[in-house]
Chains A and B, each alone.
Chain A
Amino acid sequence: MRACVKRDGIVMRTAEEARPSPDTLLKLANAEEAESERAKLKIFLGYASGVGKTYAMLEAARQRMRDGRDLVSAVVESHGRSETESLLEGLEAIPKAQIDDMGVLLPEMDLDAVLARRPQIALVDELAHSNAAGSRHEKRWQDVEELLAAGIDVYTTVNIQHFESLNDVVAQITGVIVSETVPDSLLDRAAEIRLVDIPPEDLLQRLQEGKIYIPVKEQLTAEQFFKPGNLMALRELSLRRAASRVDDQMRAYMESRSIQGPWPVAEKLLVCLSGSPYSERLIRATKRLADEMKADWQAVYIETPGVSRHVSENRERVWRDLRLAESLGAQVATLTSTSIAEALIGYAVKNNVTKIVVGKPTKPRWRELLRQPLVDRIIRVSGSIDVQVVSITDEQKIPAARVFRPGTPTPWPGYLKSLALVLATSLVCEPAHRYLAPTNLVMIYLLAVVFAATRLGRRPAALTAFLSVLAFDFFFVPPRFTFAASDPEYLITFGALFTVGIVISTLVSQSRERAEAIREREVQTASLYHLSRDLAVASDLTGILDAIVRNIEESLGAQIALLLPEGERLEVRRANSDLSLDMKELAVADWAFKKCSPAGRGTDTLVSAQLLYLPIATTGDVLGILGLRLGDESDYASPLSRRLLQAFVTQAALAIERVHLGKQAEQAQVLQARDTLERALMNSISHDLRTPLVSITGALGALRDKGRVFEADTREELLDGAFEEAGRLNRFVGNLLDMTRLESGALKLKQVPCDVQDVFGCALAALEPQLGKRVIEVRVPSWVELVRMDMVLMTQVVINLLDNALKYTPVESNIDLTAGLAGHTLNLTISDRGPGIPEHDLKRVFDKFFRLPVPEGAGGTGLGLSICKGIVEAHSGNIRAENRDGGGLRMIVELPFT
């Protein structure tokens, strides 16, 4: 019937070899892995209150306890039943939290206490329970998800009618709408489902004996609910659901053990949503169909730019429908196309959909004559894809409460205006009718209709058309001032006037609405454009944050707060002045950050918060949180503002990430620079450490050699060389130690008042052996007072500078050593008459391992001056080198002097 390459491939493979496909194994491995890692959920499933779910759960719990598992009762209601209470005895119970709901304290499960307690198993009764406003989650099943995510096994109880996909079926069977629903995915992920079943007769018996607790909320409907027929149907539903679950497990088992079986081919269902009130039923029907067929399913909404009447209402409904479909396990998508049928089939082909589900047309037959129904159009272009038409007619009573009927406000002023307009037109026509034929007066009325269409909207324009016909007939068609017409030909004129009026009004108002929609989209695009332009210009985080705040404020009229992680916690980086976040708000933001999911107002989680919190996230990383207070309450639910917000948040996330990445790149560069330096250090160290060792070990080795006799001179020379080199080695090690200490920040200055002259004296004393016959001119004016500094280190600076001067200048040249005060600075200068330093190297001499060629060969360590720089800078001072007039180098140390 259908030719599908993919399917044929699968069939062939299963026929050829009994090995499970790699995909299957992977899926299984993933599932098993997730299974072993994830906490297990055990559901005690019943078909009505009173079947004994809680009792069964407690019995199982006691068994587990006997097995030595750590188990607590997070929330279990005994409802005063003595059997249940006796089972509860000896079970550790976590006290309930009191949630403040507008002044009333309501007991709810203390989620945080359970999380803190970290038992192996937690008992959570009544999965479908709705939490009091002010709790973290709206629903208890969300609490359970969090417990599971924290690695705590959960035992829970639920009735079959609470499952989302069965919601409407149950409503059909019993006529009772169950408002507390649980997503089916929870049932699917349960590691174990225990069906708690008693015959309906016994259940009714128990009800009559008053042994069944009915919650207050359900008491009104209980009578309707507990009917033998209902109970039997519900029982069957639950048995079937449990059985299908067993079937799934069986299939998984068979697949893993490569047991040959009549594998159903992979079906894929697609349902098209239109935003009609029946879409919800269509979604549930598709879900059930998909479940029966064990097929994946998808839901698409196709936006046609032409048909955008009631844009916002429709979008809102579509948005809700898509969310419902998603919660029922569908993949959802929104497409834009001029033709629904073609877009739908195109999508179906691309996604290997095998079956398209559409609703049976609900419009009257005559409408089909005007416009071919969508179903027909789809079937025409569907090609090899099956099309399943689901009946969703009005006969299947949809509970009125569930039907969404959009109420448009009646444009009364518009109607009045159209009435006035027609009267005015009639007045204008009155004097004209003497000169014009009645058929030409029609044109004036038409003008009025066009005017109404452009100014008043569609419905008043239609009314104008209708009134025009009446007015024309009454005032100008002979006999005048009656609704009778002398000539039946006028009927054509009436019909034409009315039809043209309606068509014009429809067309004009459509184009107006379209223009409106375009304008709206334009505004969105413009605001996004402004944001992205501002973000592109912003170079740092501050600029980006400012741009985000400014643009969102302007485009949405919202008050916003931007929170970014600062170490372990979130910190408010930007916020409107009248927006102060208290601890509770911050906790909500924190939750949204940790879970990377929206929270707060307008979401399902922590709804009592003042603001809506959206995670600013890129793939994998949450970079921050955007907190918003929107101008209008309806904006929170509006898909339009949500979509715009999402676009903003995505832009913001990209921009912030860009800054992060930039920072990382910078760090990488710094690391690389440090790496290069370290390599230079290693090279230098190995060279500078080894060279002296070569001389020392060489000399000692030669002297130790018993076979050789040295002349006294040679001996002396060898020993002198070794001694000198040992000294050099010692200096080098000393420098390295100083450098390390300076760089690691381990150096602590011991600043005491020092006599500058003493510093010079100590330096000269230390260098005495090297000085020889050199003349060192020391000038310290007597008025130079004691200066606070670390004397040992500053002496080291002077020693290094002097040592340099000694090394690089001829023996006969003088060296000047002066100190002086200039303002609040103490200047120490060491001036020589040596060769100086090339201008471009003046700064580099303070770099580590920078060495100038030395006349005598034996150079320094390349560390001396950088150590000086480190020490001087640690004193908040400054060191520089300059070439003197007339040749020579001057080193200047400037120290702050207070």
Chain B
Amino acid sequence: MPDKRKKIVPNLKSSTNVPRVLIVDDEVTILRFLKTALDTGEFSLHQAENGHTALAAATACRPDIILLDLGLPDMDGIEVIRRIREWSQVPIIVLSVRDGEDDKVGALDAGADDYLTKPFSVAELQARIRVWLRRSPHQASEPIFSCRGLEVDLSHRRVVVRGEVVQLTPTEYDLLRLLVNHAGKVLTHDQILRGIWGAAYAEHQNVLRVNISNLRQKIEKDPSQPRYIVTELGVGYRLKSE
């Protein structure tokens, strides 16, 4: 046993030049697994077993990214997100169990940036962490979004797919711009509806679905297997950014 502990302890060393990752989970086995998986030397790892220590750790160690399990013993994970969002825009990735769509939506609406459904692969987790670490400080100011053949010039309201200019209706463009502005991030139905049509349309999912469908017809090669705008089942949509 002691040798195992030795293996973990060095990972908790504080370092100024590597990003700090705060892992919040009350399951000891999952904590241990996450720490082992992320012990690649590129992150400095911090841990918390419940909501209150998580909040304390968030202020104390100023993490660059937080991995948050929603089912905490002392308080609701969504409440933790809300409190952190009161003062920080640090990326939060929610780790949730399968089929907890309502929890996911709740977490995203409360301000979480992304979610991963348990069980997830280590590669997937590392990839997501990297995406969020990369974009966090200065992404939003880029005027041109470009990814695998889709090019959106926000300053000129121009959309080019595989070298061809595509004509979009104003609503379609607004929708695409919103997705581009949050590329890689899951936007819930609610967030999109409020963002484009206003709070009064929060219940009108069919408007959103029709526009997404139309947008896909115009920019996707095969709308039934979309490559850019992917559906997050029961949660919302995400523009794939890589």
User: Which residues 284-323 of A sit at the B interface, judged by CB distance below 8 A?
Assistant: none
CA distance A14 to B235 in the complex (A): 91
Closest B residue, CB atoms, query A796: B233
Complex contact A765–B225 (CB within 8 A) = yes
**Contact A755/B213 with A762-B231, A791-B233, A792-B234 known, Cβ cut-off 8 Å:** yes
B123 to chain A: closest CB distance in Å?
A: 12
Contacts A755-B212, A786-B210, A792-B233 hold; do A761 and B226 have CB atoms under 8 A apart?
yes
Cβ-Cβ contact count across A and B, 8 Å cutoff: 52
Tell me how far the C-beta of A815 lies from the nearest C-beta in chain B, rounded to whole angstroms: 13
Q: How many residues of A contact B (CB 8 A)?
A: 22
- Contact B225 A761, beta carbon cutoff 8 Å: yes
The listed residue (B99, B222, B231) touching A758 by CB distance below 8 A is B231
CB distance from B224 to the nearest CB of A (A): 4
In chain B between 173 and 232, which residues have their CB closer than 8 angstroms to a CB of chain A? 205-206, 209-210, 212-213, 216, 222-226, 230-231
| A758, B205: Cβ atoms closer than 8 Å | no
Q: Which of A750-795 contact B (CB under 8 A)?
A: 750, 752-755, 757-758, 760-762, 764-765, 778, 780, 786, 791-792, 795
Task: Return B189 CB to nearest CB of chain A, in Å.
Answer: 9
Known: A754-B209, A755-B209. A764 touches B234 (CB 8 A): no
Alpha-carbon distance between A778 and B225 when the two chains are bound, in angstroms? 9
Q: How far is the CA of A737 from the CA of B206 in the complex (A)?
A: 30
Contact check, A791 vs B99: say whether CB atoms are below 8 A apart. Answer: no
Interface residues of B in 96-124 (CB under 8 A from A): 98-99, 101, 119
**Which chain B positions have C-beta within 8 A of A795?**
233
Q: Once bound together, how far apart are the Cα atoms of A780 and B230, in whole Å?
A: 18
Q: Any chain B CB within 8 A of the CB of A229?
A: no
Q: How far is the CA of A762 from the CA of B226 in the complex (A)?
A: 9
> Are A761 and B223 in contact (CB-based, < 8 A)?
yes
Q: Using Cβ atoms and an 8 Å threshold, which residues of chain B touch A764?
A: 224-225
B205 near A752 with CB under 8 A, answer yes
Contacts of B101 in A (CB 8 A): 792
Q: Classify the secondary structure of A's interface with B.
A: helix
Complex CA gap A734/B117 in Å reads 13
Which of chain A's residues 592-636 have a Cβ closer than 8 Å to chain B?
Answer: none
- Chain A residues near B231: list those with CB within 8 A: 758, 761-762, 765
Whether, in the assembled complex, A331 has its beta carbon less than 8 Å from a beta carbon of chain B, the answer is no
Size class of the B contact interface (CB-based, 8 Å)? 20 to 34
CA distance A780 to B225 in the complex (A): 12
Give bound CA distance, A541 to B232, whole Å: 53
Within 8 Å of chain B (Cβ to Cβ): is A339? no
Asked whether any CB of chain B lies closer than 8 Å to the CB of A24, the reply is no
CB–CB A734/B206 < 8 A: no
Q: Pick from A754, A755, A780, A795 the residue with the most CB of B within 10 Å.
A: A755
Picked from B206, B225, B234, the residue with its CB within 8 Å of the CB of A753 is B206
A98 adjacent to chain B (CB < 8 Å): no
Complex: A46 Cα to B230 Cα, angstroms = 98
Complex Cα–Cα for A761 and B230 (A): 9
Task: Indicate if the CB atoms of B213 and A757 lie closer than 8 Å.
Answer: yes
State how many angstroms separate the Cβ of A875 from the closest Cβ of chain B: 16
The answer to whether A730 has its CB under 8 Å from any CB of chain B is yes
Residues of B within 8 A of A758 (CB): 209, 212-213, 231
Residues of A within 8 A of B230 (CB): 765
Chain B contacts for A737, CB-based, 8 A? 98-99
Q: Does A753 lie within 8 Å of B205, measured CB to CB?
A: yes
Could you tell me the distance between the alpha carbons of A443 and B222 in the complex, rounded to whole angstroms?
Answer: 122
Q: Are B233 and A760 in contact (CB under 8 A)?
A: no
CB closest chain-A residue, reference B101: A792
Residues of A within 8 A of B226 (CB): 761
Residues of chain B with a CB closer than 8 A to A765's CB? 225, 230-231
Q: Quick one: closest A residue to B204, CB to CB?
A: A753
From residue B56, how far is it (CB to closest CB) to chain A in Å? 34
- A780 is contacted by which of B98, B210, B224, B234 (Cβ under 8 Å)? B224
Report chain A residues within 8 Å CB of B212: 755, 758
A760 pairs with B224, CB closer than 8 A: yes
- For B99, what are the chain A residues with a Cβ–Cβ distance below 8 Å? 734, 737, 792
B210, closest chain A residue (CB): A786
Tell which of A734, A761, A792 touches B224, judged by Cβ atoms closer than 8 Å. A761
CA distance A569 to B121 in the complex (A): 60
Q: Assess the A778–B224 pair: CB atoms within 8 A.
A: yes
Give Cα distance in the complex from A734 to B99, angstroms: 9
Task: Give A795 to B230 CA distance when docked, in angstroms.
Answer: 14
Q: Within residues 729 to 760 of chain A, which ones have a CB less than 8 A from any CB in chain B?
A: 730, 734, 737, 750, 752-755, 757-758, 760
B43 CB to closest chain A CB (Å) equals 24
Q: Which residue of B lies closest to A757 (CB)?
A: B224
CB distance from A199 to the nearest CB of B (A): 86
Chain B residues whose CB sits within 8 angstroms of the CB of A752 once the complex forms:
205-206
* CB-defined contacts of A753 to chain B, threshold 8 Å: 205-206, 209
Minimum Cβ distance to chain B for residue A431 (Å): 114
| A820–chain B nearest beta-carbon distance, Å | 15
Closest partner residue, chain A, to B237 (CB atom): A758
User: Please, which residue of chain A has its CB at the minimum distance from the CB of B207?
Assistant: A753
CB atoms of A762 and B233 under 8 A apart: yes
Residues of B within 8 A of A734 (CB): 98-99
User: In the complex, given contacts A734-B99, A755-B209, A792-B99, what are 11 additional A-B residue pairs having Cβ atoms less than 8 angstroms apart?
Assistant: A755-B213, A758-B212, A758-B213, A761-B225, A761-B226, A761-B231, A765-B225, A778-B222, A780-B224, A786-B206, A786-B209
**When A and B form their complex, which 7 residue pairs have the shortest distance between CB atoms, in order from nearest?**
A753-B206, A792-B234, A778-B224, A755-B213, A755-B209, A752-B205, A761-B224
5 contacts between A and B (CB under 8 A): A758-B209, A761-B226, A762-B233, A764-B224, A778-B224
A contact set with B: CB distance below 8 Å = 726, 730, 734, 737, 750, 752-755, 757-758, 760-762, 764-765, 778, 780, 786, 791-792, 795
